[in-house]
Amino acid sequence: MQWFSLMILLPFVFTIFVPFLYKKFNPRLHTGWFVLVVPLVLFICLVSFIPQIANGNTILATLPWLPSYKINFTLYMDGLSLVFALLIAGIGALVVFYSIFYLSKHREALHNFYVYLLLFMGAMMGLVLSDNIFVLYVFWEMTSVSSFLLIAYWYERERSRYGAQKSMLITISGGLAMLAGLIMLSMMTDTYSIREMLNSSQLESISAHSLFVPAMILILIGAFTKSAQFPFSIWLPDAMEAPTPISAYLHSATMVKAGIYLVARLTPIFGGSLEWFWLVTGVGLVTLLYGSINAVRQTDLKALLAFSTISQLGLIMCLLGIGSASLSYGIGDEGNVYAMAIFAAVFHLVNHSTFKGCLFMVVGIIDHETGTRDIRRLGGLMHLMPISFTLTIIGGFAMAGLPPFNGFLSKEMFFTAVVNIGKMDFFHMNSIGMLIPILAWIASVFTFVYSMILIFKTFRGKHAFVRVDKPVHEAPLGMLVSPMILGTMVILIFIFPNVLSHYLLTPAWSGILPDLAEAGMLQIEISAWHGFNIELWMTLGVIAVGTALYLSIRKWYRVYSLYPQAATLNHLYDTALEQMELLSKKITDRYMTGVVRDYLVYIFGFIILVTGGSLWLFDGFTFVPSKDAPVNIYEASLVVAMVITALTVLFSKSRMTAVIAVGALGFFVAFFFVLFRAPDLALTQLVVETVTTALFLLCFYHLPELKKEMSRIRFKVSNALISIAVGVVVTLVALSANGTRFFSSISSYYEDAYELAGAKNVVNAILVDFRGFDTMLEILVLTIAGLGVYTLIKLRLTGRDKNEGAE
């Protein structure tokens, strides 16, 4: 199955060709037509795995990467990863097709857009299929970097740069916390493989480990930041500054689902514990309520969808938390009740990707055709854009949880989960358990309200927009195809839910709860009608109360203005960032004085405190005179000569004298190399000193002579003390290193340099062969620096030519 690994690398490989295709064919042919092949190929290949995964099989492929560190590019596909991979490839194909008609091939830098998009697609695919935790982390951070580039695609806009910066700061900070948690998890399990971590024989020892709770909290921080859970959700609305195809892809189907995937994947390890249950369930429930309430107050359509996404992600996270309780009950009727919440989470994840992707694309169409996304300026579009109105009805009603749309089915399962949670007799549910269904119902009411705002405030009534360049009309068919496909899926899933359940949802659920699945305790049959139960009455209550709130929104909408702006999470974030910048500026201004002496004081002071302090604290000073070589008269004479020339440099009043003294000091060092039988080093030293001395003399010849008052060097006690202290510390370190031998001499390693490297000169062998990577990287650094200098010169010349042409 090595081709399986190569298939995942396809998006990364194709990024190499995108700029050439853009240069060759644009603007005759939209670059998106070439890029569309990548997600289509991925989707077709993934579809071919569905029968195999549905039968309970898994797919494993490994490519060696860092085998000495037990880090290999290992890809593992089960039901859970297949669902996410299909969403990434399937929604990706629809988004690329949509972008072909949304983005102008004349005005947009399409090569950048599609390179960033393919990088993100490949990173997400690698994330959900990685078995090695460190490979997963690499892809995790690649999604953050590529999403930063996509959000900042229109970088000339200040809000785009702001949103990209916010998303990167929050998600990468969470990713670093997650990395620490994954390292702790690997220490507890003694493996980097997620499959081996999920081995049931290890789970009991993991839960009893002292690092269990710290690792759990750090991993959840990473998951919560990526999936925009409260209070980290503030980055998602600002990320809406990205082009609409990116919003439809990143923020409804892929990136924001990465944290959901991580929580679902690690539920067998951490699930069943009190901390996991309350953190995942509680944060998810608060996020659900926070997102739904704030979505109602939005006047921008994409902002409304952003907060609705936050709300829906909270719902999925809450279901995963509730379902983790099944691991406490184990196999049995009660465990199965809560395990159904896991199934509902996966089901709603798929449903949300379909109806939210559809809605984002429709909002892009509205913005594209009317020139605005402001709800206050929209209205009356029902007759002008009937297809878009129909698609909004489908997506909006599905989001509100109304039949006959797929959101109704998973929403009913959500109500079932929060109702059953009150029956739990542990995790302190007897005291505060009833709050969960109440808060869930309130959030559902607000979900209904903002769904109605999206539909009727946009398409009914009188419009207030002004489009002078062209009349408002329905979007072209090419732009409608992708949302129409997603809208059709919304209805088909409602009609044939058990087809999806059998081939995708049940295998995905089995990947999260393998023990219950292997026991065959759950026979999942999705139905739209369950009789007159409490869930049905909750739904009817949502419709009744939600309708009343929507019709009377003008009377209670002012409640939002009562909340102080200074207490909002965005204000706290901006204030904290501003204060951090001010503090860092103050600290930087304090030590960046522009005086060389101050910088030398910092450096030498650090050496004295750290190195000298370590020698003193850890009793590291060792002096064994018997191990020292005898000092002959020639070496003593050279030392005295070097000291005299060094003092001459310090106290000379002439540049010429100082330069000659520096050169003499270098020549004396070369004589030392001769005495120590290192002729190559001596020759190199002589050549370097000769050239530098000549260059110094040539440069100083053209400088003005030193004035008398400038030639005087003041004596400062602090300078003398620092100099003496540094000299003492360096001497003590040298004596201690010479008097201490923890290992055998490394010189024996180079005795067979000729046989191993074919080098008669051991120094050359060390530089070229034994330190080959180091030397190669040094050359690479010089190459990059040279390219940078060339680019700056080229840009300057180009800018000058343009200015001259303008004149």
Per-residue pLDDT tens over the stretch 46-69: 999 999 998 888 888 888 888 877
Say if pTM beats, i.e. exceeds, 0.85: no
pLDDT in tens, 728-748: 998 888 888 777 777 777 777
Average pLDDT over residues 340-354: 92
Q: Please check whether residue 563 lies inside any domain of the structure.
A: no
Q: Is residue 665 part of a domain?
A: yes
Indicate whether 774 and 682 sit together in one domain: no
pLDDT surpasses 80 at 1: no
Q: Judge if 310 and 413 occupy the same domain.
A: yes
Number of independent structural domains in the chain: 3
- Residue 175 forms part of a structural domain: yes
Q: Where does a domain end: 524, 551, 578? A: 551
Alpha-carbon span 83 to 308, nearest angstrom: 22
Using one digit for the tens of pLDDT, what is the confidence trace for 467-499?
Answer: 545 678 888 898 999 999 999 999 999 999 999
Average pLDDT over residues 423-440: 75
Q: What is the pLDDT of residue 66?
A: 80
Residue 754 corresponds to which tokens in the numbers above? 């000729």
pLDDT at 712 over 60: no
Run of H or E residues at 61:
strand 59-66
pLDDT in tens, 525-537: 888 877 788 888 9
- Say yes or no: 83 and 204 in one domain: yes
Task: Establish if 439 belongs to a structural domain.
Answer: yes
**Average pLDDT for 197-226:** 85
Output the pLDDT for position 330. 57
**Per-residue pLDDT at 420 exceeds 90:** no
- 207 and 117 in one domain? yes
Predicted pLDDT at 428: 63
Higher pLDDT, 435 or 708: 435
Instruction: State the pLDDT at residue 803.
Output: 47
pLDDT for residue 723 is more than 60: yes
Looking at residue 334, its pLDDT comes to: 54
Same domain, 733 and 784: no
User: Are 71 and 157 part of one and the same domain?
Assistant: yes
| Domain match, 369 and 511 both | yes
Please indicate, yes or no, if residue 562 is contained in any of the structural domains. no
pLDDT at 225: 94
Is the pLDDT at 664 greater than 50? The verdict is: yes
Is residue 499 located within the same domain as residue 640?
no
Flag whether 748 is in a domain.
no
| Helix spans in 103-198 (H) | 110-129, 133-151, 158-189, 194-197
- CA separation, residue 539 to residues 292, 399, 403, 536 (Å): 16, 13, 11, 5
Residues 480 and 540 in one domain: yes
Domain stops at, among 504, 530, 551: 551
**Structural domain containing residue 663:** 614-707+719-740
H/E segment holding residue 66: strand 59-66
| Token output for 613 | 């302090």
CB within 8 Å of 49: residues ≥ 6 apart? 59, 77, 82
Identify whether residues 693 and 803 lie together within a single domain: no
Least trusted range by pLDDT, from 272-276, 518-522, 662-666, 727-731: 518-522
* In contact, 243 and 76? CB cutoff 8 Å: no
Burial class (CB in 10 A: 0-12, 13-18, 19+), 391: buried
Query: What is the rounded average pLDDT of the residues 647-653?
Result: 82
- Same structural domain, 679 and 541: no
pLDDT tier for residue 710 given thresholds of 50, 70 and 90: very low
- Within-domain flag for 545: yes
Summarize the confidence of residues 111-130 as an average pLDDT: 92
Does 9 have pLDDT greater than 70? yes
Verify that 28 and 66 share a domain, yes or no: yes
d(CA 333, CA 317): 23
The last residue of a domain, from among 513, 534, 551: 551
pLDDT tens per residue, range 387-407 = 999 999 999 999 999 989 999
Mean pLDDT of the chain: 85
- Mean pLDDT, residues 441-454 taken together: 94
| Better-scored residue on pLDDT, 579 or 710 | 579
- Is the pLDDT assigned to residue 459 strictly greater than 50? yes
Residue 579 lies in a domain: no
